Structure 1
Amino acid sequence: MPSRNEPHFPDFSTFIDRVNSAEHARFTTARPALRVGAEEFDGMRAHIQSLYAGIETVPHSFVDDNDQIFDCVPIRSQPALRGATEAPPAPPDAPAAPGPRTASQGVPLRPQLRSDRIDKFGHAMACPPGTIALRRITLDELARRSTLRNFFQKSPLGTGRHPRLSPPSVQAGIHKYAHAFQIAGNLGGHSFINIWDPTVGSQIFSLSQHWYAAGSPVQTVECGWQVYPGKYGTTQPCLFIYWTADGYQNTGCYNHDCSAFVQTNPNWAFGGTLGPVSVLGGAQYELEVAFYFNGGNWWLYLGGTSASNAVGYYPGSLFGSGPLATGAASDVDYGGEVVDNTAWPPMGSGMFASSGWQWAAYHRDVVYYPTAGGGVQASLTPSQPSPNCFTCEVNHADPPWNEYFFHGGPGGTDCA
């Protein structure tokens, strides 16, 4: 019998060796349900080899509650920093929100990775100092998407879409939203998001997130939670980030799926599950999220807005000569998105916005960071283009709610 401490998954070196030796004919013969051509397969293998090139030693690996493998990788050898001659800059504090801070009715979500969490094999679900956790990307995961470009896209049903700034002709019938936005020059913003696990069966995904965007084609940085069984193999909500520099066409990827996001904080794992989830009529678990453009980078914060809460950044250079390269976002947007083409999954808790506290999904204390500096309470406009299935209601109250909104709904087939 293997001991509890013996891993039941290949170590990082073995994983890389298997990728290097993988052959299209043997791979597809063993997986007849997958439809991936030889040329695409070679591109997928090359992407994994490139993504992990130069990572010679991994001091620790573990699995999450869904058996996804995470490898602890030295910060300086993560894909987005490979070849860099300088260390990542020190993170700044994000701007303080206006007004007094009062205790929330919601329960703050703790970071996923902590030394007191142990996986089912006895491994600590935490990384040693100087390393961060990368979710292991496998050939099987890439091959499920048929092409490498499909793997990078936000949805398997073609390119992604911004709820406001994408042209109406771009997959308007596939993406459904209930969200709240403000048109304002900004360097990012902030909200508390409560966490849910809507039932996504054969549909694609359901999420709640931030978008900071500008331009045509649109450029965005995004973060939130997402239930996406086809990607993560679980019906639990997972922490995700996404970006695009050209309207979701040829740039962009989730998490660390490509060389884009620079992670500096070891306490969070992109693509890892989040929990506990909120309870209908009971406890509400929430995650504080913020983006802030500073020093040429889009810094992401989770669980607070001090420098110690900074998780990492998207370099402004990803956006070329576009508006997000200089922090010139023009749109702050928050809320829910679901994707399918025949029957759309629930959004948030599955309850309409009118259900309110302890029943509906929410974003509260919504603040944006104007280009002049500081933080101001948002003045949001609700949008619910599919009210039969999903709704959004914006309100303002005393702290700790301030500017807030409820959103969500049961989904279904009549979501025009």
Structure 2
Amino acid sequence: MGASSSSSSVLVLPLSLAFFLAIFLERSVGVQPSGLTLERIQKHLNKINKPASPDGDIIDCIDKWKQPAFDHPLLKNHKLQLVPPELPRVRRMKEEEVKRDNHISSRKNEERMVISGRGARQVWHQNGTRCPKGTVPIRRTTVDDVLRAQSLHDFGKKQPRMALARHTVSPDAVRENDHEGASADVSVWNPFVQDGEMSISQIWVVAGSFSGSDLNTIEAGWQVQPLLYGDRSTRFFAYWTADGYKSTGCYNLLCPGFVQVDKNIAVGSAIAPVSTIAGMLYETNIFIWKDPKTENWWLGYGNNTAVGYWPSNLFTHLAATATQVEWGGEVVNTKPNGAHTSTQMGSGRFAEEVGLVDINNNINSPQDISAHADDSNCYSINLLNNNDWGTHFYYGGPGLNPKCP
């Protein structure tokens, strides 16, 4: 009897279970979807899954009212500023000049075409992808992106010891020089970067103290950072912190804070084309300025595009004005094999045009500007001022070389 019962439990199934299995087997080995059904499925997937750009990025078009910025506790009742403020006046003048003609410049006896004002384009535009009205483009973050970081807490953040090492003058020592923003025409390159390191060209808008935990910075430019992005593409980036890189702020939109407004520029996306030593020189404009009405800090990119803004209530010191502005390059040197890194800065022939935004929303050439290189045998800088280019400088270098062991 026991054997019979055991045998029945194996061979005889309850009617409901048998019916379930019958349905499962029919769906597993039954008729495949028709071509028309597959086509409809694919169209639906194309609507919810944006195609990857040529560099492998996936750009999602997110409802601008549902973007990550509004998850920040300080922005729960924030009113989205839909209309960008008036652009700094020099930028509009320069755009009119650019429409008339591109200009040729001789740099170190080498004639180069400068694509001024039009700026470098973003790679994700190359397959014709654009975001519709009412949405903003956000680069999709993957599990692999997070796993490359030291921890989930560190993901998307600068390390304080790296971020503060380059400074020689504290902004709290120059408080009499209040600034409302900064602008730079930045040549775009794709320097070699070793694993675990980065190379950056950027603007820093700063207030607070480097010696304490109240440092406020807004930063923007381009970078090559394999650890963050998983590749060696040159990418447009933005960064902010309100406590000296300790817990607040992050790159791009990897944490709540930065409010995206423009539907065509994705922060964190790859830039193309880039400059080459013997070929064309491509540059783009980066500018950061404060809206005198809302007091929000706006980010501009390329051809006078207002990408978005940092609400002023994210900050303490920058809620008022900036006390220091910096332009330049930065690399992370992990000293692989005990020697200086071979990570490059710029191209070795790097140059920028710079300006300051004053309280009247004008861009002026900076006064009393100083230049500093941590080790001129590895990366050098040459500050110049003439009628053709205004205040500008060349900087960059190869890193590891016989004079930079």
What SS class does the counterpart of residue 189 from structure 1 fall into? strand
Corresponding position: 1:346 with 2:344: yes
Q: Structure 1 residue aligned with 2:53, among 49, 55, 64?
A: 64
Q: Which residue of 2 aligns with 1:140?
A: 144
- Separation in structure 2 between the aligned mates of residue 262 and residue 126 of structure 1, nearest angstrom: 19
Cα distance, 1:270–1:187 mapped onto 2, change above 3 Å: same
Cα distance, 1:141–1:100 mapped onto 2, change above 3 Å: closer
- The answer as to whether partners of 2:59 and 2:124 remain within 8 angstroms in 1 is no
- Separation in structure 2 between the aligned mates of residue 84 and residue 162 of structure 1, nearest angstrom: 37
Corresponding position: 1:407 with 2:400: no
- The answer as to whether partners of 1:98 and 1:376 remain within 8 angstroms in 2 is no
Q: Which residue of 1 aligns with 2:164?
A: 161
Q: CA deviation at 1:149?
A: 2.1
- Separation in structure 2 between the aligned mates of residue 324 and residue 297 of structure 1, nearest angstrom: 10
State, as a whole percentage, how many aligned pairs show the same letter. 31
Cα distance, 1:7–1:304 mapped onto 2, change above 3 Å: farther
Corresponding position: 1:316 with 2:309: no
Cα distance, 1:110–1:346 mapped onto 2, change above 3 Å: closer
Cα distance, 1:313–1:6 mapped onto 2, change above 3 Å: farther
Show CA shifts across 1:181-222 (max 9, x none): 998310111111010001112241001001000111321101
Show CA shifts across 1:342-394 (max 9, x none): 03311001x2xxxxxxxx11111x11012354221113211112101011111
Q: Superposed, which structure 2 residues align to 1:16-415 within 5 Å?
A: 61-81=50-70, 83-84=76-77, 86-97=79-90, 101=94, 102=97, 103-105=102-104, 106-107=114-115, 108-112=118-122, 117-118=126-127, 124-155=128-159, 160-161=163-164, 163-164=166-167, 184-216=177-209, 217-294=214-291, 295-305=294-304, 309-319=305-315, 322-326=316-320, 328-342=321-335, 343-344=340-341, 345-349=343-347, 351=348, 360-364=349-353, 366-371=354-359, 373-379=361-367, 380-399=369-388, 401-412=389-400
- Separation in structure 2 between the aligned mates of residue 402 and residue 373 of structure 1, nearest angstrom: 19
Cα distance, 1:368–1:162 mapped onto 2, change above 3 Å: farther
- Separation in structure 2 between the aligned mates of residue 85 and residue 7 of structure 1, nearest angstrom: 38
What SS class does the counterpart of residue 151 from structure 1 fall into? coil
- Separation in structure 1 between the aligned mates of residue 263 and residue 384 of structure 2, nearest angstrom: 36
Show CA shifts across 1:9-56 (max 9, x none): x969xxxxxxxxxxxxxxxxxxxxxxxxxxxxxxxxxxxxxxxxxxxx
Higher helix fraction: Structure 1 or Structure 2? Answer: 2
Give the structure-2-normalised TM-score.
Answer: 0.74
- The answer as to whether partners of 2:182 and 2:355 remain within 8 angstroms in 1 is yes
What SS class does the counterpart of residue 386 from structure 1 fall into? coil
Q: Which residue of 1 aligns with 2:8?
A: none
- Separation in structure 2 between the aligned mates of residue 190 and residue 237 of structure 1, nearest angstrom: 20
Cα distance, 1:166–1:143 mapped onto 2, change above 3 Å: farther
- Separation in structure 1 between the aligned mates of residue 289 and residue 352 of structure 2, nearest angstrom: 18
Q: CA deviation at 1:68?
A: 2.0
Larger Rg: 2
Cα distance, 1:111–1:197 mapped onto 2, change above 3 Å: closer
- Separation in structure 1 between the aligned mates of residue 67 and residue 243 of structure 2, nearest angstrom: 24
Aligned residues: 331
- Separation in structure 1 between the aligned mates of residue 250 and residue 327 of structure 2, nearest angstrom: 19
Cα distance, 1:166–1:377 mapped onto 2, change above 3 Å: closer
Show CA shifts across 1:202-254 (max 9, x none): 24100100100011132110111101111112212011100111111111200
Q: Which amino acid aligns with 1:246?
A: D
Extract unaligned runs of 5+ from structure 2. 1-34, 105-113
What SS class does the counterpart of residue 251 from structure 1 fall into? coil
Extract unaligned runs of 5+ from structure 1. 13-57, 119-123, 168-180, 352-359
